[in-house]
Structure 1
Amino acid sequence: MATAKIKKGDNVVVLAGKDKGKTGEVARVLPKDGKVVVSGINIAVRHRKPSQANPQGGLDRFEAPMNISNVAVADPKDGKPTRVRIEEQDGKKVRVAVKSGEKIDG
């Protein structure tokens, strides 16, 4: 498998949907589904009936997964969306922002 372009902990910019333009940190990557969960973005609400486990019931808010194509890595230099190139430096594969040429990995 090739090196992933978006990883857990990356700062990303949302490119499409109701949260377009917002930025957040990747909480989870679901590679089989081609989706990512971004903290504070794409909040879904579920109405829950009272049950024994939750006698109060009410609304459950959670971060729903979104398609990985709807997010782009934020450029470390200016925070704008950028594509990611994988280069080999000192015998290691490193992710590099296409826009500024800055390294994304530490």
Structure 2
Amino acid sequence: MAQTRIKREDEVLVISGKDKGKRGSVIRVLVDQNRVVVEGVNMVTRHVKAQPGIAQTGMVQGEASISLSNVMLIDPETGVAGRTGQKVLEDGTKVRVVKSGKRS
């Protein structure tokens, strides 16, 4: 099983593809496929047939997954997007940090 440095509810910046430059919150991480679903990014339209138990039918818009390599973590404190790393604090706990980045 692969390890990702992006977690659910992280703020990310899309760095390539049709939605390049958009920011959004991660809804879901698909670890086995190396993909993420980001709120408001890669919107697709699906035609949903009426069935019992389905609330909305017809043309339904929703987010599709994008490759994990196409997003970059945004540091919540500084607002800078960049590559991530780990830092060990004095009390021994590990935290994620943005090592290098660019303003978004």
Shorter-chain TM-score range: 0.7 to 0.9
1:31-67 CA-to-partner distances (Å, cap 9, x unmatched) read 0010000011111111234x3446x852111110110
Aligned partner letter, 1:98: K
Matched ranges for 1:32-43 at <5 A: 32-43=32-43
Matched ranges for 1:58-69 at <5 A: 58-69=58-69
Q: Distance in 2 between matches of 1:28 and 1:10?
A: 10
Aligned to 1:30: 30
Larger strand fraction of residues: 2
Aligned to 2:18: 18
Give the alignment's TM-score, normalised by structure 2. Answer: 0.80
2:100 alignment partner, SS class: coil
1:93 lines up with 2:101 in the alignment? no
Q: Mind listing any 5+ residue stretches in structure 1 that lack a counterpart?
A: 101-106
Give the alignment's TM-score, normalised by structure 1. Answer: 0.79
Give the length in aligned residue pairs.
99
Q: Select between 84-93 and 21-30 the one with higher mean Cα deviation.
A: 84-93
1:40 alignment partner, SS class: coil
Q: Mind listing any 5+ residue stretches in structure 2 that lack a counterpart?
A: none
Contact 1:44 1:63 in 2 (8 A): yes
Q: Distance in 2 between matches of 1:94 and 1:25?
A: 19
How much identity, in percent, do the aligned residues show?
45
Q: 1:2 to 1:86 in 2, by over 3 A?
A: farther
1:94 alignment partner, SS class: strand
